[in-house]
Amino acid sequence: MRKTVIAGNWKMNMTPSKTTEFIKALAPEVAAYNKADIVLCVPFVNIPAAVEAANGTNIAIGAENVHFEPKGAYTGEISAEMLVECGVKYAIVGHSERRQYFGETDETVNLRAKAAIASGLTAIICVGETLEMRESGITAEIVAIQTKKALAGISKEDLAKVIIAYEPVWAIGTGKVATTEQANEVCAIIRDVVAGLYDKASADELTIQYGGSMNAANAADLLAMSDVDGGLIGGASLKVADFTTIVKAAQ
Ligand code: 13P
């Protein structure tokens, strides 16, 4: 059976000291919950504080991005090896904010995912349509293309190091959540695409998250859907009580 993964994406929020405070408060709240893997993806500079605070807990730490080259003249970038040495286990790749504001393309998403996996990280690959795409009726095509391009050259064995997050761009940070049916429908489409690329058994094992205004009030309904295997949570992952409620909703 595939894993349920509840992951926070802090985006550009929190400082190292606030990170420590947050994780110290969260850890006892979620300590008894073992039905879902719990991940916090935090800004690079908060990683050492996060790893230290999460040590000995059931919370794993992730990064919000990773560069595709192992090292070199890439000012401002962070390699997978650096992350691994810091104790990071996951890296978000291809978030829509990076696609939208930082020139991320399907090709660089693929390169970053491969680099993450090669170093032993689990890549949380984000896909999702804009409102304009949804209204044009091309959501299925868009997420299929993004999924195929992101997974190009990734072996069936390495799929165990992949999570796909379906994040409709129109639902991110807008308070506009996809309906449970919309979320489940697109997660199932992604699973079908993966079955076509690999095989059904591999697709059935793949964790596919929903992200986009998931919160304490709507998480249980979204997570109850057959093809939604977790959440990638922005705003609500910045509040201990809300994130705890979402973790508990995954039980
Ligand atoms: P919100 O939960 O704030 O809508 O953000 C979702 C997201 O982008 C997670 O990666």
Domain of 44 in residue numbering reads as: 4-249
Q: Are 40 and 23 in contact (CB under 8 A)?
A: yes
Predicted pLDDT at 251? 79
Give the closest residue (by CA) to ligand 1 atom 7: 234
Predicted pLDDT at 175? 85
Minimum-distance ligand 1 atom for the alpha carbon of 237: 2
Conformation bin of residue 79: beta by default, left when phi > 0, alpha when psi is -120 to 50: beta
Predicted pLDDT at 218? 97
Neighbouring CB atoms inside 10 A of 28's CB total 10
What CATH number does the domain containing 115 carry?
3.20.20.70
How much is the average pLDDT of 5-17? 98
What is the reported pTM? 0.98
> What are 84-138's pLDDT values in tens digits?
999 999 999 999 999 999 999 999 999 999 999 999 999 999 999 999 999 999 9
Q: Are 103 and 89 in contact (CB under 8 A)?
A: no
> What are 201-222's pLDDT values in tens digits?
999 999 999 999 999 999 999 9
Report residue 235's pLDDT band, with 50, 70 and 90 as the boundaries. very high
> What are 15-56's pLDDT values in tens digits?
999 999 999 999 999 999 999 999 999 999 999 999 999 999
Q: Are 226 and 200 in contact (CB under 8 A)?
A: no
Minimum-distance ligand 1 atom for the alpha carbon of 97: 8
Question: Ligand 1 center to residue 72 CA distance, Å?
Answer: 31
Q: How many domains does the chain have?
A: 1
pLDDT at 231 over 90: yes
At 233, list the tokens: 């949570």
CB-defined site of ligand 1, < 6 Å: 9, 95, 167, 172-173, 211-214, 232-236
Report d(CA 232, CA 132) in Å as an integer: 22
Report d(CA 19, CA 140) in Å as an integer: 37
Instruction: Kindly name the residue from 64, 104, 129, 167 that is annotated as catalytic.
Output: 167
> What are 138-153's pLDDT values in tens digits?
999 999 999 999 999 9
